[in-house]
Structure 1
């Protein structure tokens, strides 16, 4: 019998794909979602049938049939940041082979944008959500609580009942940088931060607290809400030299700023680390190739994505992860700049 499209939509149906492949509709659906338990030969037949019929799955129909979608919402503050690209790739590597569609929302470090994304995406009934950090509007938090959708939080840690999170201590990382600079004999320290999201401020706090424990005056701070960039790093470095020319150690809140400062120091003939030690954060690609090579805090961004996705899968199966606040740590990569 010749395959005919659905009268309602004019498109091929899942039933037609299943009939052509000689399998049940349930098996066809699971094969098209790449569920690992489907026999590989059956999966090949289903995919060949779908290709021959030019079949495109209808996620809305699947949602109505199952009372929930097979979508996971991932909310990140920036897609221009290599940090979150690595995390997203790791998340997709875990979820896609298990048949989940990954929806990505970028809120540009703005709470109002994140709130709107949460409101809009909840209408699509995602079966789980991966969120970056804990700092969001009261309305967004209430939307999440009322939705009853399993959530896992990334990049930060919180020991609280009902909270599942994967990350590391931002405060401890900041403290580690201060201790390193102090061990190098640096005493006139500065902190340079941009974007000023909650995690930047936590690093700053840990840095300042470690300096206070050493009995020294607080580090001079240059803080701006402007988006972080290499160009901005050079500008803030020049401002620091003008306002505090005796500074001998700087912790930049991320590598972009540290890169820009290093380039500007080279142009101005400021010797790093002889005159000023420089430390960045995240250990982005290129940090180890700078001149001088940049000391930076390496963060486990891909591993965070993997474990966060795995924790969410456990929640979706009705299980609580063995460790609800998984600390993956960090590593100070000491190089020539400090």
Structure 2
């Protein structure tokens, strides 16, 4: 599974080695055994009856290694209680086998789906996926990048474009291959895979307007750049239709949740009882609104239409079933990882900006 970046250990765990020309050699006195007594890759290879390089590839999950050899190596490693030393591996190969992925949350299901897809692409190629959680903080992301760069990762997968100037310069100066996920920026000159948050917001407004709604509100939480862009798209469409009222925007930096959605839903209706449609910046907020509507006898969509975003798995089972904008989280993770593999191999991406689109799922709540 996924691995959080851990220190590679102190130098005492490394095999004494000498560099002769282009050959990395082990001291004869070492006998391929660390002074700590810990089992080595060479010992695993001998027990499995394979070469050290085959043992290394098998343990990294490289797909070209025969299944029967992988099983032998895994059994040998288990018998010896062998644990991979990333520092020794990087020293021996003169390059890291890690890819750093930074997402804003590990409690949000949509990023879990993206991470699973990334892992499925990178792991068979022998790469370790090191996950950083920025908690929607630009400063925390900068600190994560600063720490991870010290270990010379082979590649980076970053979420969106909202980061500190120092973090931006750090990524550019590192020359580490990088792909940006979730957002698109055709003018940035970078590789990115995602969809237009602005267009998604515009689509939400167009759908609710097509249902004859006149008093449309937007409720957003967390207030990361993507949430704000969705709200901006929604606002633009309402302005063009002559239906925009700034009083019907309810935004809070609090973390998005089902409970918060219900709270903000009741707060909005209490202050603006004439609201007849609400677009929520995330499905968990909209789910909370539906639960509170049921609890207070507020008819949806007759009294007020409710539209969510991201189409989380539970949304199609709500009462009424929640209309939502479905986003391709898994496909974005897969394509981003595939692009990163291409770049790390020294090749250029023919189409650096990939719009994966989104889909409006119309159900009973609108």
- TM-score, normalised on structure 2? 0.88
Q: Distance in 2 between matches of 1:172 and 1:115?
A: 29
Contact in 1 for aligned 2:260/2:288 (Cα 8 Å): yes
Q: Secondary structure at the match of 2:102?
A: strand
Question: Paired residue for 1:144, among 165, 171, 175?
Answer: 171
Give the CA deviation at 1:25. 1.9
- 2:301 pairs with 1:291: no
Question: Paired residue for 2:237, among 210, 214, 217?
Answer: 210
Give the CA deviation at 1:7. 4.0
- 2:331 pairs with 1:303: yes
Give the CA deviation at 1:5. 7.2
**Structure 1 counterpart of 2:112:** 85
- 2:91 pairs with 1:64: yes
Contact in 2 for aligned 1:247/1:276 (Cα 8 Å): yes
Question: Paired residue for 2:264, among 225, 232, 236?
Answer: 236
How do residues 1-338 of structure 1 correspond to structure 2 at under 5 angstroms?
6-160=33-187, 162-218=189-245, 220-338=248-366
Give the CA deviation at 1:161. 5.8
Give the CA deviation at 1:46. 2.6
4+ aligned runs moved over 6 Å, structure 1: none
Contact in 1 for aligned 2:104/2:134 (Cα 8 Å): yes
Q: Secondary structure at the match of 2:130?
A: strand
Q: Distance in 2 between matches of 1:282 and 1:7?
A: 51
Q: Distance in 2 between matches of 1:326 and 1:149?
A: 20
Q: Secondary structure at the match of 2:217?
A: strand
Q: Distance in 2 between matches of 1:184 and 1:40?
A: 56
Give the CA deviation at 1:264. 1.3
CA RMSD of aligned residues (A): 1.5
Q: Per-residue displacement from partner, 1:222-242 (whole Å, max 9, x unpaired)? A: 000011111111111111112
Query: What is the total number of aligned residue pairs between the two structures?
Result: 335
Q: Distance in 1 between matches of 2:285 and 2:364?
A: 17
Give the CA deviation at 1:250. 0.5
Give the CA deviation at 1:9. 2.4
Q: Secondary structure at the match of 1:264?
A: helix
For structure 1, the 5+ residue unaligned runs are none
- TM-score, normalised on structure 1? 0.95
Q: Distance in 2 between matches of 1:110 and 1:15?
A: 43
Q: Distance in 1 between matches of 2:295 and 2:34?
A: 70
Contact in 2 for aligned 1:5/1:11 (Cα 8 Å): no
Q: Distance in 2 between matches of 1:113 and 1:148?
A: 21
Residue 260 and residue 39 in structure 1: after superposition, are their counterparts in 2 closer, same or farther (change >3 A)?
A: closer
Residue 320 and residue 113 in structure 1: after superposition, are their counterparts in 2 closer, same or farther (change >3 A)?
A: same
Q: Secondary structure at the match of 1:146?
A: helix
